[in-house]
Amino acid sequence: MLDPIARVRRFNRAVTSEVGALDTSFLGRGRTLGVARVLNAIGHGRSDVADLRDYLALDSGLMSRFLRSLEEEGLVTTKPHPDDARRRIARLTAAGRREFEAYETLSNRQAQAMIARHSQPHALLAAMDMVAAALGRDRIRIDEVDPRDEQARYCLKEYYAELSRRFARGYDVALSRDPDAVDMMAPRGAFFVALSDGLPLGCVGLKGSGGAVAEIKRLWVAPAARGLGVGRRLMDAAEQAARKLSITTLRLDTNSALGEAQQLYRKTGWTEIERFNDDPYPDLFFEKQLR
């Protein structure tokens, strides 16, 4: 009842009976699950046959047969890879794209129905994000991106929104020292986002000036992803980037209202120092020497 294990198992039961039905729903368009999965994977941008095989965990023989079957239906064409004629590339035909869209519409409708019935969709979506992040934890990637990218901008927007929720006096970016994008890109600095199956779950910026000292800025982890070690991985990525840029001293400012972040800094070799700027929001300052 209150037993965590029982709760997880209950979740598993709920999910296998409901989401399992979703998988099966790919049927009903006169195609078996195997070929439908291949069609969908191609539609989602996987074209390399080896990649498809790997992604779908299919035997090479089986993969070939599925592709032949899709070709016979006129939904897919294959051609040799321009760089290596042994490899093949699969693409959807116009008819194939229509079929793919039909599957997409079906999945979207199902997803839509699931939230539409709920009268608190925000909470439900947040819960789904959290579960998905925990389940897909091993597939969370840390990617270096331009801080003006869509995914970076999304993270920053969420970061500001969270600060204004958590600071008693609110938060206004204009009052803070918002770093220039170029300071957080090679060759001066770097910007990283954590991605789980395409969804941004966190970010961090390394703001350099060309010298030996750089600052860590904008460390944020989505509420759905807390407890998965994403913050630490982001910080590791930033530190590693700093080392590559020959930076020897890292500094950062933070606010004592952000307890989790502070804990992370203290656990990973940062030491508290004196205030080094006059930004109105931070009240805690840290430094870390990279050797």
Report if residue 84 touches DNA, rule: CB under 7 A: yes
Q: How many residues bind a second copy (CB under 8 A)?
A: 60
Residue with tokens 């600071």: 167
Distance in Å, CB of 73 to DNA, minimum: 14
x-or-dash pattern for DNA, window 18-47, by CB under 7 A?
--------------xxxx------------
Report if residue 163 touches DNA, rule: CB under 7 A: no
Q: Identify the residue among 88, 97, 137, 251 touching a second copy (CB under 8 A).
A: 137
Distance in Å, CB of 102 to DNA, minimum: 18
Q: Identify the residue among 48, 129, 144, 149 touching DNA (CB under 7 A).
A: 48
Report if residue 22 touches a second copy, rule: CB under 8 A: yes
Q: Identify the residue among 29, 68, 166, 244 touching DNA (CB under 7 A).
A: 68
Distance in Å, CB of 135 to DNA, minimum: 21
| Concatenated DSSP letters of the chain | ---HHHHHHHHHHHHHHHHHHHHHTT-SSS--HHHHHHHHHHHTT--BHHHHHHHHT--HHHHHHHHHHHHHTTSEEEEEETTEEEEEEEEE-HHHHHHHHHHHHHHHHHHHHHHHT-S-HHHHHHHHHHHHHHHTGGGEEEEE--TTSHHHHHHHHHHHHHHHHHSTT---GGGS-PPPGGGGSTTT-EEEEEEETTEEEEEEEEE--SSSEEEEEEEEE-GGGTTTTHHHHHHHHHHHHHHHTT--EEEEEE-TT-HHHHHHHHHTT-EEE---S--SS--EEEEEE--
Nearest alpha carbon to residue 35 among 61, 68, 13? 68
Q: Identify the residue among 3, 59, 138, 274 touching DNA (CB under 7 A).
A: 59
Nearer to DNA, 80 or 170 (CB): 80
Single-letter amino acid, residue 65: R
Q: Which does 62 bind (CB under 5 to 8 A by kind): a second copy, DNA, none?
A: DNA
Q: Which does 78 bind (CB under 5 to 8 A by kind): DNA, a second copy, none?
A: DNA
Q: Is the Cα dihedral 164, 169, 172, 178 positive or negative? A: negative
Q: Identify the residue among 16, 60, 209, 277 touching a second copy (CB under 8 A).
A: 16
Report if residue 262 touches a second copy, rule: CB under 8 A: no
Report if residue 161 touches a second copy, rule: CB under 8 A: no
Nearer to DNA, 36 or 190 (CB): 36
Q: Identify the residue among 17, 86, 174, 291 touching DNA (CB under 7 A).
A: 86
Dmax (CA) for the chain in angstroms is: 71
- Among the residue ranges 53-61, 142-150, 151-159, 196-204, the one whose residues contact DNA (CB under 7 A): 53-61
Residue with tokens 């300052």: 285
The values of phi and psi at residue 203, to 5°, are: -155, 165
Report if residue 79 touches DNA, rule: CB under 7 A: no
Report if residue 124 touches a second copy, rule: CB under 8 A: yes
Distance in Å, CB of 228 to a second copy, minimum: 7
Q: Which chain residues interact with DNA by CB under 7 A?
A: 32-35, 48-50, 53, 58-65, 67-68, 78, 80-81, 84-88
